[in-house]
Structure 1
Amino acid sequence: MFADSGNTSLPAWLYNDTEYFAVEMERVIRPSWQIVCHVSDIPLPGDYHVLDYIGESVIVIRGDDGTIRAFANVCRHRASRLVDGPTGCARKLVCPYHAWTYDNDGRLTGVPMKSDYRALDLDNHGLAPVDIDTWRGFIFVRLAGDGPRVAEMMGHYDAEVAPYRFEDMRAIGRVTLRPRTVNWKNIADNYSDGLHIPVAHPGLTRLFGRDGYRIEASEHVDKMWGVVVDRLSSNPSERAYQALLPRVDHLPEANQRLWLYYKLWPNFAFEIYPDQIDFMQFLPISPTTSLIREISYRLPDDDRREMRAAQYLNWRINRQVNKEDTQIIERVQQGMASPSYTVGPLGESEVCLASFARKLRHLIPEANLPEAPVAGWSHAA
């Protein structure tokens, strides 16, 4: 029914079409893992983090028994949202509408005027559970589906991550939210694109050398990496980072100056540096708007002055990289609105973009079409 478009980029209409966006949320985002926080972010009973995305609100909370669970942030009575804001602590979750009360393990334990509800079975009206997974200390949720767990997705890359002691990490500051006027896929495409590095990122080029950035694609993960060179940069922040970055004894020699990135299908990434790690998540808001959600983590037992300085310089360097990327993706989103553009060719080295497009086309065959089908296609028999 649909011609194979494996040697071309995804068509432009996929980046601004409302009907396709709805299908993509159902078939791609709902069944995929979404990163929420680290277990150290909710250390005590009742501590919770909330993730809001694609019209859903999910609360991840530690119970009195120490178990971390995930639930829809929705009262089972009249659908009121239970908690507001991204974080908090509640030994009991009390609905602000009618005061239905839930324990932090999700059980319904309190119903005002309970005699009004003669057939009510409290055991069947606890909070709706959401699928949850934990990998190396990080917590993920999934709204639907039964695909591979995060550890399986990471596969052989898990051994590469192991020396970084993810489980021991602690947050630096709070989650940052950055709205962008682009489709989420433009962020994802750009994240795994290696060809733009020497063109659009002079700072990274100075740090890695002109040919020092590498990419590879696997079934569930794109890997990108570069090694910080010894030749000192002309930029003050980059030069200071090169000079101050201290040795990290628990890392292999090859990782001492390695910047390493793993983008997991479909929309979040781990950015791994000798001095810290970040996660970056690109949440869809509409066909042409997204929200970048990110936070940094560090090892609390390494409080050396030079390590603190390296973390600050890392932030300065990557703030500039983010600014450059924002300009790029906004230009691409604007260009995709032109009828003159449908699809573009993919070179042999663009393995990550080809892998991403192949997975989307498998889940949504209409993504092979160079132009949008007639409205209503998603409801056709």
Structure 2
Amino acid sequence: MREAALELLNRTMDEQLKRSEHPSDFPALPPIPAGRYTDPRFEALEKDRLWNRTWLLAGIASDLPTPGSYRLFQHLDRSVILSHGKDGRIRAFHNACRHRGSPLLLEPQGRAMRFICPYHAWGYDLEGTLKSVPSQHDFACLDKAENGLIEVQCDTYRGFVFINFDDDAEPLRDFLGEFVALTEGYPLERMVVKDHFFVEMACNWKIAYHNFLEIYHVNTVHPTTLAPHLDSRSFVIALYEGGHMRFGTRKKGGESLFKTPPVKPDDIAPVFLENTVALPTFPNTFFSLDPVGFNLQCFWPMGSDRSVMEVRQMGWATDSEEDKLYWQGMRAATEHILSEDLCLFENIQQSLRNGTIPSIWAGYQERALYWFEEEIDRRIGPDRVPADLRVQPRIASFMAPRSA
């Protein structure tokens, strides 16, 4: 973490521990309309203006180790091939044959040096070029050079693979913004996926994501699992351009909330040993940089009132049996902690859907939640959001400066 960001973290933590009143310069936050989590109009706006135009975390480079390695991204009513090319570059293609739209790959992961359509055997190379068409003479107007796979914009940062369905999107590094400075001193590029699983939820994706944008609930919901390890009073938030954020919470003794794994880097910066540093990264990703590794969570919509949490357990490279047992235990611990939250989400969604409550409230400790909702409207375009579904912009002036 760069010096300016570290100074901001430590200074605001010290100030927060002394705070006993609502900050006099921070505005009261207006209620957030319930329709943002139930209304098909808002869901359609998100699909068009958010999911189709924003950089999305799609994979991990270490899962694509050699030429021909591939993984499928299968969210948002999309199927996208992430493929390691012969030239070492990771590319993304829509998983659709140019003949009649059949998926080229049916397994979620594997190795393929060519993409051969299982329907009519049209074949493509790893660069997406159409190479072979059975009975090509029957396609009088077909130009193979013009009918390669449709590429999706794809880029990587320190081993994390992102895609964007907008060909005119800003460069990935510009999009990530302060994330670059905040992760210095944490060896992201050396991480591997220890486990990868999905949790389906009977709620809007934003309701689930909200849960991870505050720790106001930790003492109540996680009294024996998380609360004993965190000094919740020290919790601080930095709001950054683009809807990104940084959370910081001091630990109650020890370098980690969890026991030490068999392998752990010795070059992790002290800030990540002394504090829990979380980086909610717009629009739907949550990093929490613990020295033992962390759960990388992405929240995907499956309709206005259903969603899925994708969880990758990120750790350090080793194939020892001790390490495998460690991560089996981490999976069980993670599922237990998540279960403490998940039991609430369906009923929250029900209350919003049936009109029991017309809006939800966010307090000062939940300002990250409000910042996230403001950014969604900025991405959609405030004038496009129906008046009854808008959030009122209130806290842009409290955005933290980027580090030099």
Q: What amino acid sits opposite 1:25 in the alignment?
A: K
Deviation by residue 1:304-330 (Cα, 9 ceiling, x = unmatched): 96x877756554443232112212322
Rate the CA distance shift 1:231–1:331 in 2: closer, same or farther, 3 A.
farther
The worse-fitting range, judged by mean Cα deviation, of 110-119 and 223-232 is 223-232
Correspondence for 1:341 among 339, 347, 357: 357
Structure 1 residue aligned with 2:372: 356
Structure 2 residue aligned with 1:262: 279
Question: How large is the RMSD of aligned CA atoms in angstroms?
Answer: 2.9
Cα contact 1:276–1:311 (8 A) shared by 2: no
The worse-fitting range, judged by mean Cα deviation, of 204-213 and 40-49 is 204-213
The worse-fitting range, judged by mean Cα deviation, of 312-321 and 17-26 is 312-321
Which blocks of at least 5 consecutive residues in structure 1 are unaligned?
373-381
- 1:16-95 equivalences in 2 (<5 Å): 16-95=38-117
Deviation by residue 1:145-165 (Cα, 9 ceiling, x = unmatched): 634444333333323313221
Correspondence for 2:153 among 131, 141, 159: 131
Rate the CA distance shift 1:214–1:331 in 2: closer, same or farther, 3 A.
farther
Query: What count of residue pairs does the alignment treat as equivalent?
Result: 360
Give the Cα separation in 2 of the matches to 1:23 and 1:47. Answer: 35
Give the Cα separation in 2 of the matches to 1:321 and 1:45. Answer: 38
Q: Shift of the alpha carbon at 1:281?
A: 0.8
Q: Shift of the alpha carbon at 1:275?
A: 0.7
Give the Cα separation in 1 of the matches to 2:259 and 2:70. Answer: 38
Cα contact 1:260–1:273 (8 A) shared by 2: yes
Q: What amino acid sits opposite 1:290 in the alignment?
A: S
Correspondence for 1:285 among 302, 310, 313: 302
Cα contact 1:14–1:367 (8 A) shared by 2: no
- 1:241-260 equivalences in 2 (<5 Å): 241=258, 248-260=265-277
Correspondence for 1:156 among 145, 158, 178: 178
Which blocks of at least 5 consecutive residues in structure 2 are unaligned?
1-26, 391-404
Deviation by residue 1:41-94 (Cα, 9 ceiling, x = unmatched): 111111101111221111010112222111000000101111113211111111
Give the Cα separation in 2 of the matches to 1:242 and 1:256. Answer: 13
Correspondence for 1:226 among 238, 242, 249: 249
Cα contact 2:264–2:316 (8 A) shared by 1: no
The worse-fitting range, judged by mean Cα deviation, of 157-166 and 100-109 is 157-166
Structure 2 residue aligned with 1:107: 129
Deviation by residue 1:289-347 (Cα, 9 ceiling, x = unmatched): 11111111222269796x87775655444323211221232231121123242223432
The worse-fitting range, judged by mean Cα deviation, of 323-332 and 277-286 is 323-332
Give the Cα separation in 1 of the matches to 2:376 and 2:147. Answer: 36
Cα contact 1:277–1:297 (8 A) shared by 2: yes
The worse-fitting range, judged by mean Cα deviation, of 293-302 and 48-57 is 293-302
The worse-fitting range, judged by mean Cα deviation, of 123-132 and 314-323 is 314-323
Rate the CA distance shift 1:371–1:23 in 2: closer, same or farther, 3 A.
closer
- 1:159-238 equivalences in 2 (<5 Å): 159-173=181-195, 175-202=196-223, 203-220=225-242, 221-230=244-253
Tell me the percent identity.
26
The worse-fitting range, judged by mean Cα deviation, of 327-336 and 87-96 is 327-336
Q: Secondary structure at the residue paired with 2:226? A: helix
Q: Shift of the alpha carbon at 1:192?
A: 0.7
Q: Shift of the alpha carbon at 1:245?
A: 9.5
Give the Cα separation in 2 of the matches to 1:69 and 1:190. Answer: 33
Structure 1 residue aligned with 2:10: none
Q: Secondary structure at the residue paired with 1:356? A: helix
Cα contact 1:9–1:354 (8 A) shared by 2: no
Q: TM-score, normalised by structure 1?
A: 0.85
Q: Shift of the alpha carbon at 1:352?
A: 0.8
Correspondence for 2:387 among 369, 373, 379: 369
Cα contact 1:63–1:105 (8 A) shared by 2: yes
Does residue 1:322 correspond to 2:344, yes or no?
no
Structure 2 residue aligned with 1:378: none
Q: Secondary structure at the residue paired with 2:360? A: coil
Deviation by residue 1:123-181 (Cα, 9 ceiling, x = unmatched): 100000101010111101111263444433333332331322111212213x2011111
